[in-house]
Amino acid sequence: MMLEFQTQNLVTIDAAVDSQPPREEEQEQHLKMDDTSLYCDQIPDADDVLIELDCQNDPSEGRKEFLAPASRMEFESYDDAYNYYVCYAKEVGFCVRVKNSWFKRNSREKYGAVLCCSSQGFKRIKDVNSFRKETRTGCPAMIRMGLVESQRWRIHEVTLEHNHILGATIHKSIKNVGIGTKKKLLPSCSTAEVQTVKLYRALVIDAGGNGNSNSNARDNKTFSEYSNELNLKKGDVQTIYNFLCRMQLTNPNFFYLMDFNDEGHLRNVLWVDARSKTACGYFGDVIYFDNTYLSNKYEIPLVAFVGINHHGQTVLLGCGLLAGETIESYTWLFRTWVMCMSGCSPQTIITDRCRALQIAIAEIFPKSHHCFGLSLIMKKVPEKLGGLHNYDAIRKALIKAVYETLKVIEFEAAWGVMIHCFGVSDHEWLRSLYEDRVHWAPVYLKDKFFGGMAAARPGESVCPFFDKYVHKQTPLKEFLDKYELALHQKYKEESLADIESRSSSPLLITKCSFELQLSRMYTKEIFTKFQFEVGEMFSCFGTTQLHVDGPIIIFLVKERVLTDGNRREIKDFEVLYNRSAGEVRCICCCFNFYGYLCRHALCVLNFNGVEEIPPKYILSRWKKDYKRLYIPDHNFGSSDDTDRIHRSNQLFRSALQVVEEGILSVDHYNVALQAFEESFIKARDVEQRNE
């Protein structure tokens, strides 16, 4: 059972503060509900139905941790909020009653309430029954909540402390109830309890971990046996919840969602902060989904959405914890991520080879190109082929087939030679690799855009975002403690790269007009990579026409390529050129793989007297002022200005440009800060004028 949307109602905290219902001293001005005692199970009216609380000296024995109510928790409805507090009370060991309720005068719509412990206050002298034990102790435990602008119910005030002994169990005894009444009553109670358990049992955590009291038994089980729940240690769920609440309170526009199984055990979690949302708007065209920690059975089942920024640095686009490598878990994660990102659909998604991932991505991202990370595959070569006879020779043949072929026919021939010469036609891993070749072999991916994440050359790989912060045995609490440090370090690196790119001019190594053109536009890191291609134009020669078809001309460019043993051999590269369309495409497809033109394409442009790179080959995502000039569209769906979420997205986007300008210098910062302060005052004045 998927409970992600129900669960979000319980644990989402909104940083905004709306109007609150009247406090107790103001209640005379409103219609007041009778001080009626309510208990942990919603029981239909019946004559003389008694629910008694069995108190024990040690209420903590066998007690389960429950995510206690907190200020600013939100719920979809009053009933959701009430049922949650009732379920919490049942676990802790007390009963609940409604102390106050407030209604709007015209519509009679409820807009505020106070729920308290049944031991709150004291009975009036005339109501005291000498034959029944007094249970009221003036207990202060309560929650005060109200309806906010979003039409959700928010907790505004919480008191958790009790001044009496709490009970471990609740006993029911039904007196003087006829047989017919009992038959109607019991099924109703059962149904209510089942619904309550399904909705709110998700918040209950056994002291031993994620619903498993026997930690030794859990450790003896295999990973696959826990694919329906996170394999957590004692206190981990509370650690996760505390982390998410802290992030939402301190990080504007923070999003998270928790998924629970039918037994109420935590199964999957996703969280995305404001900067990740923004980064996705800028750099969400190509995404690497990193499940290395999950697939390699790290202590933490961490997964991450990673992109590449305008400096070629990895940026975080979202994080998650998954119960296992299952279709259900991946589908939930991707669907939730898309919801958070307002329907963002990347051009290309790079992942490890995994059947479950393949099925989930095909369902959630049907328009995206799904490719397997080549570097991830090549890293497994020693493990998969290391035991074979002539391993070194097989490895060299594989590398040649993968990296040195330019056409499909060449790849097929080289693969066939490797299989035949070394007699590995029955090798299962190689066979399955060949069947999936269209998803990972560079010769089949030349029409896909990778934006620098292709790793299509020997030795290249995409570095994991948390590479320096997570090792095989890193516990969950340590990672969550380091999470903000890791993000701060990444943001610092990006900020320093921004400053360096804007404040310095790169040293030119040639007199080529292409080099001068992009030196003024691109960030230092990306320009350095392009500059290497400009320098390597001198290793190319013999640019000649092979075929002419109207405006389209096929050129042949020869290059002296460095091979094993530092020897150079001549290799031919075909380049298509269309002057009228301003199009140039090389068979090596450097532009699609890395986002800039290769030496062979530059030679053809130069040969035809072109002095500037055509605009279509100058990507905005590599420009040094990209984040200042471009406002990402976070709201892909249609909406109007009356939608609170839409307004929030629009304001957030508009503020980004001011922020990007404000970090350039102290003077820029002061001007931007003053503008924000003035805008705040003007916006606040609107509310005062309306009042």
Q: What is the distance, to the nearest Å, from the Cα of residue 168 to the centroid of all Cα atoms in its chain? A: 38
Q: For residue 462, what is the DSSP state?
A: P
Residue 63 pLDDT exceeds 80:
no
pLDDT of residue 212: 47
Question: Which whole number is the average pLDDT over 251-278?
Answer: 88
Of the ranges 54-63, 441-450, 556-565, the best mean pLDDT one: 441-450
Question: Which whole number is the average pLDDT over 485-502?
Answer: 91
- The pLDDT confidence band at residue 629, using thresholds 50, 70 and 90, is low
The CA-based angle 561-565-570, given to 5 degrees, is: 20
Residue 478, classified by CB atoms within 10 Å of its CB into exposed (0-12), middle (13-18) or buried (19+), is middle
- The pLDDT confidence band at residue 223, using thresholds 50, 70 and 90, is very low
pLDDT of residue 222: 41
- The pLDDT confidence band at residue 392, using thresholds 50, 70 and 90, is very high
- The pLDDT confidence band at residue 213, using thresholds 50, 70 and 90, is very low
pLDDT of residue 249: 82
Average pLDDT value for the chain: 79
pLDDT tens by residue, 657-676 = 677 677 767 888 888 888 88
- Residue 364's contacts (CB-CB under 8 Å, 6 or more residues apart) are 331, 334, 335, 338
Q: Give the CA count within 13 Å in the CB-facing half-sphere of 478.
A: 11
Q: Which amino acid is at 636?
A: F
- Residue 531's contacts (CB-CB under 8 Å, 6 or more residues apart) are 506, 509, 515, 519
pLDDT of residue 17: 34
- The pLDDT confidence band at residue 121, using thresholds 50, 70 and 90, is confident
Strand partners, 343: none
Place of tokens 């080289």: 414
pLDDT of residue 688: 65
Residue 544 parent element (H or E): strand 540-549
Q: Is 502 helix (H, G, I), strand (E, B) or coil?
A: helix
How many helices (H) does the chain have, and how many strands (E)? Answer: 22, 21
pLDDT of residue 77: 86
Tokens of 541: 């020669």
The CA-based angle 400-428-418, given to 5 degrees, is: 25
* Separation CA 268–CA 285 (nearest Å): 25
Residue 86 parent element (H or E): helix 78-92
Structure-model confidence comparison of residues 45 and 26, the more confident one: 26
Q: Are 240 and 260 in contact (CB under 8 A)?
A: no
- Residue 397's contacts (CB-CB under 8 Å, 6 or more residues apart) are 414, 417, 418, 421, 422
Of the ranges 55-69, 159-173, 217-231, 663-677, the best mean pLDDT one: 663-677
pLDDT tens by residue, 514-536 = 999 999 999 999 999 999 999 99
- The pLDDT confidence band at residue 600, using thresholds 50, 70 and 90, is very high
Average the pLDDT over each of 293-297, 503-507, 622-626, 651-655 and give the range with the smallest value. 651-655
pLDDT tens by residue, 551-579 = 999 999 999 988 776 788 899 999 999 99
- The pLDDT confidence band at residue 10, using thresholds 50, 70 and 90, is very low
SS3 content of the chain, % helix, strand, coil (to 5): 45, 20, 40
Question: Which whole number is the average pLDDT over 12-32?
Answer: 40
Residue 46 pLDDT exceeds 50:
no
Average the pLDDT over each of 81-85, 179-183, 371-375, 668-672 and give the range with the smallest value. 179-183
Structure-model confidence comparison of residues 174 and 143, the more confident one: 143
Buried b / exposed e over 646-684, threshold 16 CB at 10 Å, is beebbebbebbebebbbeeeeeeeeebeeeeeeeeeeee
SS (H, E, C) 299-347: CCCEEEEEEECCCCCEEEEEEEECCCCCHHHHHHHHHHHHHHCCCCCCC
- The pLDDT confidence band at residue 648, using thresholds 50, 70 and 90, is low
Residue 66 parent element (H or E): strand 65-66
* Separation CA 280–CA 289 (nearest Å): 13
Structure-model confidence comparison of residues 337 and 646, the more confident one: 337
- The pLDDT confidence band at residue 613, using thresholds 50, 70 and 90, is very high
pLDDT tens by residue, 126-167 = 555 555 666 788 899 999 999 987 788 889 899 999 988 887
The crossing angle, in degrees rounded to 10, of helices 179-200 and 78-92 is 100
Q: Are 323 and 260 in contact (CB under 8 A)?
A: no
The phi, psi pair for 72, rounded to 5°, reads 80, 5
Max CA pair span of the chain: 110
Question: Which whole number is the average pLDDT over 201-219?
Answer: 41
* Separation CA 154–CA 521 (nearest Å): 49
- The pLDDT confidence band at residue 48, using thresholds 50, 70 and 90, is very low
The phi, psi pair for 6, rounded to 5°, reads -65, -40
Residue 383 pLDDT exceeds 50:
yes
Structure-model confidence comparison of residues 614 and 5, the more confident one: 614
Phi-psi region of 485 (alpha: psi -120 to 50; beta: other; left: phi over 0): alpha
Structure-model confidence comparison of residues 72 and 153, the more confident one: 153
Residue 51 pLDDT exceeds 60:
no
* Separation CA 300–CA 220 (nearest Å): 17
Structure-model confidence comparison of residues 609 and 46, the more confident one: 609
